[in-house]
Structure 1
C-alpha cells in the first residue's frame, strides 16, 4: 500500500495534485503539480516560503527534482510567482514559461518587488514573500496565445487571459477538461462550500483590473466546455460543465455589481471606506443566499479581499475617468 500523502498535498485525479503553499492561512493559496509518465510541471508556485513544500511534494510522489520540465506561473503576482526563481534553483531540467508581459519581471524582479510594495507595504512584503530570486534568462521563455506545449506527450494549451492582470495566461488540460485559471476565474474558498457547492467572487486586486476584458476572458474559458476550474485561491471547483457555468454566471454578475458600486461612489469624499464596506456587505449577502450561516467567520475571511478589491476598483476608476 502506498504511503499516505502529506496533509498539504491533494490528489485531484488525472495526474494533478494541489499543493497548499501555506501562504497566509490553510487552503488559501494553491500551487499545482502535474505528473505524466514520470515527468512533471508546476503551475503557480506560491511564494519563496512555499518552495520546501513543492519539493516535498515531488518526494512524496517518488519524483526527483530533475523530473520537472516546466514551471508555469499564471501571472507574476507574488502569491502565484514569488517562488519561481528560488524553486528553479532546485530543478535543473526545468524551464519557466511566463506570459510575455511578465517575463522580464521573472528575470529581473526589482520592479515587481517595488510594485507589490506599494500595495502591501514593507513589513508585509518581508513577512509574506521574502527576497525575490531572479530566473536565469536562458531558462525562461515567453508564452504566446494558443501556444501548445507538451508534458511527456500530454498537450497543454495556453491562452492570453486579461482582466485581472495584463500579464496573465491560463492553461488548458484536455485530459481533465479543466483550466488552470490563476485569478481570472475568481476566488473560491473551501470554507464557504455548502452541500458540496462552491461560492465564488471576483478579484480586482490592483493595478490592472479591466471588467470588460475579464468578462470576455470568462466567456473564452467557457468556450472549451470545461468540467472544472483549478483556482489558485483555492483548489478545484466545478465537477460538471453545468456547475462551471453556474459559477461563471455568479462571477460575472458580481463583476457588474462591483463596478456599479464603484461608479456610484466615484465622487464620495470617503470613497475607499464606503466602497470597501459595500463590497463586504454584498459578499456576505450573497454568501447568505448561498446557504452559509456563519457571517462573522465570513467577514473575517473576506476582509482583505474587500480591501484589495476596493483598491483595484479605485485604480480602475481613475484610469477610466472621462
Structure 2
C-alpha cells in the first residue's frame, strides 16, 4: 500500500497577516485519491486551483479530521469541483455540515473577525456524507481522537498518520521545531491525553499535522506533545494558585518563557508572533476552563 500511494501537502494561501504559511490540505494519490482537510471557505478557489494545477482530475474521498470552519469551510466548493467525491467525517459532525448555520454562529462567537476572514461554510448534500463508523476504504484506519474537539478524528493511511490537531500544531520555523497545543474551550485534559495515547499505540510512522507541518517520527513527537500538555497543566495551575489579575496574559508569557517547544517563537516575524499569541491564549483558555472545576484544581 505505501509504495502505491504518493503524498503531497497542498498549501492554501491566506490573505491574513502572519498566516503564510499556515493552512494546507494533504493529498494522497493512488488506487484511491484522498484529500485530508480543506481549509477555510474564503480560499476554496485557491485550493481547487492548486489541485487542478497539480494534475488531480479525480477525487474519490475528502477526509475531515474535524468540522471547525478553518478545516471544513471549503468543502462545498471543492465538492462542486469534484462532484463524485464523498466525504468522511465524524458522525456527530454530519448535521452541522448539512445545515452549517449553528456552526457559523458558534464560530463567529468564538473567533470574531478571524471567522469573518475564514468565511461561512456552505451546506453539504447529505448523500455525499459518510459517517466515520461506516467508512470502508481499504487500508484506512480511523481513530477517534477527541481533545481538540469532541468530533475529532485521526486517519492512518499508506503508512502515514494524519493526526489533525489531536497532536497539537507543529511547524518548522527558521529550521527550528515549534510545537503548540491546540486546546480551545471546552477542553478536557484527561480526554486529550487518552487520544495521544491512542495514537502512540500505533507503530512509528511519518506524522502529518492538520495545518502545514509534518515529521518523520510520530512516536517522538506524540511523546513530546504529551509531556508538553503536562508541562502546560503544571505552569497554568501555578498561575491560578497565585491568583490576582491578568491570569490569561501571565500564563501566555510564562509558557513562552518556559516551554522549550515554543522557543522558535523568537524567530517568527511580528505578524506570525501575533497569530501564535492569539492561538496560545485560546489554548490556555481551554486549560483554565478545565481547572475551573474544583475536581481538577
**Structure 2 CA distance, aligned partners of 1:187 and 1:299?**
14
Matched, 1:149 2:149: no
Higher helix share: 2
| 2:173 paired with 1:191 | yes
Residues 62-90 of structure 1: per-residue CA shift (max 9 Å, x gap): 232xx211111100111111211232222
CA distance in 2, matches of 1:191, 1:42: 25
2:139 is equivalent to residue 161 of structure 1:
no
**Is residue 161–residue 218 contact of structure 2 (8 Å, CA) maintained in 1?**
no
Separation (CA, whole Å) in 1 of partners of 2:192 and 2:213: 20
Q: Is the 8 A contact 2:174 2:267 kept in 1?
A: no
Give the aligned partner of residue 253 of structure 2. Answer: 277
Q: 1:116 aligns with which of 97, 107, 127?
A: 107
Residue 277 of structure 2: which of 291, 298, 303 is its match? Answer: 303
Report the 3-state secondary structure (helix = DSSP H, G, I; strand = E; otherwise coil) of the residue aligned with 1:96. strand
CA RMSD of aligned residues (A): 2.4
Q: Which residue of 1 aligns with 2:267?
A: 294
Aligned residue pairs total 286
* TM-score, with length taken from structure 2: 0.86
**Equivalent residue for 1:48?**
41
Do 1:280 and 1:299's aligned partners in 2 also have CA atoms closer than 8 Å?
no
Deviations 1:221-269 (A, max 9, x none): 12221321110232221x2xxx433222221111011122332333624
Corresponding residue for residue 206 of structure 1: 185
**Structure 1, residues 268-308: CA drift from partner, whole Å, max 9, x if none?**
2422222222223234x4444x8x87377684463122211
**TM-score normalised by length of structure 1:** 0.80
CA distance in 1 between counterparts of 2:261 and 2:197 reads 22
Query: For 2:78 and 2:261, how far apart are their aligned partners in 1?
Result: 38
Alpha-carbon distance in 1 for matches of 2:192, 2:174: 23
1:19–1:57 Cα contact (<8 Å) kept: yes
Partner of 2:115: 125
Check conservation: 1:43, 1:71, Cα contact below 8 A: yes
Q: Structure 2 matches for 1:166-245, cutoff 5 A?
A: 166-173=150-157, 175=158, 177-191=159-173, 193-194=175-176, 198-207=177-186, 209-237=187-215, 239=216, 243-245=217-219
Secondary structure of the corresponding residue to residue 265 of structure 1: helix
Q: Secondary structure at the match of 2:156?
A: strand
**Equivalent-residue separation in structure 1 for 2:220 and 2:202 (angstroms):** 15
Shift of 1:45: 0.3
Does the Cα contact within 8 Å between 1:80 and 1:182 map onto a contact in 2? no
Select between 296-305 and 255-264 the one with higher mean Cα deviation.
296-305
Q: Which residue of 2 aligns with 1:33?
A: 27
Q: Which residue of 2 aligns with 1:255?
A: 229
C-alpha spacing 1:255/1:21, structure 2 compared with 1 (3 Å): same
